[in-house]
Amino acid sequence: MAVLVIADLNAGALSDNTHKTVSAAKAIGGDIDVLVVGKDAKSAAEAAAKIDGVRKVLLAQSDDLGHGLAEAIEAVVVPLMSGYDAVLTPATSQGKNFSPRIAAKLDVSHISDVVEVVDASTFVRPIYAGNALETVQSSEAKKVITVRPTAFKAAGEGGSASVEDIDAGAGAGATKFVGEEIVKSERPELTGAKIVVSGGRAMGSAEEFQKVIEPLADKLGAAVGASRAAVDAGYAPNDYQVGQTGKVVAPELYIAIGISGAIQHLAGMKDSKVIVAINKDGDAPIFQVADYGLVADYKTAVPELMSALG
Partner 1 sequence: MKVLVPVKRVIDYNVKPRVKSDETGVDLANVKMSMNPFCEIAVEEAVRLKEKGVVTEVVAVSIGPAQAQETLRTALAMGADRAILVQTDADLEPLAVAKVLKAVIDEETPNLVVMGKQAIDGDNNATGQMLSALLGWPQAAFASKLEISGDKATTTREVDGGLQTIEAPLPVIVTADLRLNEPRYASLPNIMKAKKKPLDTKDIASFGIDTAPRLKVIKVAEPPKRGGGIKVETAADLVAKLKNEAGVL
Burial-class residue 112 by CB neighbours within 10 Å (0-12, 13-18, 19+).
Answer: buried
Span from 31-39, 86-94, 153-161, 197-205 in contact with partner 1 (CB under 8 A): 86-94
88 is a contact residue toward partner 1 (CB under 8 A): no
Using CA atoms, how far residue 91 sits from 69, 113, 196, 254, in Å, is 16, 6, 19, 21
Q: How far is the CB of 289 from partner 1 (least distance, A)?
A: 5
Q: Please report, as residue ranges, which positions from 181 to 240 form the binding site for partner 1 (by CB under 8 A).
A: 181-183, 189, 195, 220, 228, 232, 238-239
109 three-state secondary structure: coil
- Complex with partner 1: residue 2 or 296, whichever CB lies closer: 296
Span from 46-54, 156-164, 204-212, 285-293 in contact with partner 1 (CB under 8 A): 285-293
Q: Which residue of 82, 139, 158, 283 would you call a contact of partner 1, by CB under 8 A?
A: 139
The Cα 300–Cα 278 span in angstroms is 11
Terminus-to-terminus CA distance in the chain, angstroms?
53
261 is a contact residue toward partner 1 (CB under 8 A): no
The Cα 126–Cα 243 span in angstroms is 13
Q: Which residues contact 24 (CB under 8 A, 6 or more apart)?
A: 88, 114, 117, 145, 147, 152
Contact 24, 114 (CB under 8 A): yes
270 is a contact residue toward partner 1 (CB under 8 A): yes
Q: How far is the CB of 164 from partner 1 (least distance, A)?
A: 26
Q: How far is the CB of 146 from partner 1 (least distance, A)?
A: 9
Q: Please report, as residue ranges, which positions from 147 to 166 form the binding site for partner 1 (by CB under 8 A).
A: none
- Complex with partner 1: residue 28 or 70, whichever CB lies closer: 70
136 is a contact residue toward partner 1 (CB under 8 A): yes
The Cα 265–Cα 247 span in angstroms is 10
Span from 24-32, 33-41, 47-55, 180-188 in contact with partner 1 (CB under 8 A): 180-188
The Cα 172–Cα 236 span in angstroms is 33
Nearest 5°: the CA angle 69, 74, 80 is 140
Q: Which residue of 38, 74, 155, 196 would you call a contact of partner 1, by CB under 8 A?
A: 74
Q: Which residue of 131, 157, 207, 299 would you call a contact of partner 1, by CB under 8 A?
A: 131
Q: Please report, as residue ranges, which positions from 2 to 31 form the binding site for partner 1 (by CB under 8 A).
A: 10-11
Q: Is the dihedral of CA 52, 57, 61, 66 positive or negative?
A: negative
Q: Which residue of 1, 13, 133, 141 would you call a contact of partner 1, by CB under 8 A?
A: 133
Q: Which residue of 67, 142, 187, 280 would you call a contact of partner 1, by CB under 8 A?
A: 67
Contact 245, 228 (CB under 8 A): yes
